[in-house]
């Protein structure tokens, strides 16, 4: 696997669901976020739109960031607040930390096999635009053959077997703009 890091000291704009925020209101008006009521939302990220089933599920208190195309994507409240520092207004600094990532140029590894066997990752080698599909954030997400799979955390047992992980697809252009490969 690659070791990657978000570009150092990256400043991001982020918006908390449930807050009285103009950007959230615009995203709702434009259909990129759907308020499902009862504190639940559907977020129409690039990967969720590619999945053609619905939006990623998020809750009041979770955070929304926009990728370089203007598409929203959710960040779990606890993860966001542990990995970002408020600067001012809607601007936050994202703490860079090394992560693991995989793409199809690499050999199959235990972490990706775990996704296939336990997390319902489907790898369709016959499709270039929907090479990868999985149930993530409460919806079907799909990514093209050049997408990266980024692992935000991986848990192992004492024998070194993968027991759980937090992960997602990252579209290649977005990956190239926001991550650097360390090794």
pLDDT for position 52: 57
pLDDT along the chain (183 residues), means of 10: 83 93 95 93 80 80 90 92 94 91 96 97 95 89 95 95 95 91 90
pLDDT for position 161: 97
Cβ atoms of 110 and 80 within 8 Å: the answer is no
Q: For 54-82, how does the pLDDT look when each residue is reduced to its tens digit (9 = 90+)? A: 788 999 999 999 987 888 999 999 999 99
Question: How distant, in Å, are the alpha carbons of 34, 35, 52, 102 from that of 179?
Answer: 29, 31, 26, 13
pLDDT for position 55: 83
Rounded Cα–Cα distance for residues 74 and 81 (Å):
13
- The pTM of the full predicted model, rounded to 2 decimals, is 0.71
């Amino acid at each position: 696997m690659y070791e990657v890091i978000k570009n150092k000291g990256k400043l991001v704009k982020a918006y908390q669901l449930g807050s009285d925020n103009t950007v959230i209101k615009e995203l709702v008006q434009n259909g990129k976020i759907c308020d499902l009521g009862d504190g639940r939302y559907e977020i129409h990220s690039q990967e969720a739109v590619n999945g053609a089933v619905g939006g990623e599920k998020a809750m009041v208190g979770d955070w929304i960031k926009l990728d370089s195309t203007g598409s929203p994507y959710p960040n779990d409240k606890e993860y966001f607040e542990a990995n970002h520092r408020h600067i001012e207004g809607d601007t936050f600094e994202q703490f860079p930390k090394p992560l693991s990532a995989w793409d199809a140029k690499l050999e199959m590894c235990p972490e990706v096999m775990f996704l296939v066997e336990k997390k319902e990752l489907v790898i369709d080698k016959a499709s270039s635009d929907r090479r990868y599909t999985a149930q993530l954030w409460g919806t079907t997400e799909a990514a093209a053959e050049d997408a990266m799979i980024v692992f935000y955390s991986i848990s192992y047992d004492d024998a070194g077997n993968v027991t759980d992980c937090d992960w997602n697809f990252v579209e290649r252009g977005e990956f190239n703009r926001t991550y650097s490969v360390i090794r």
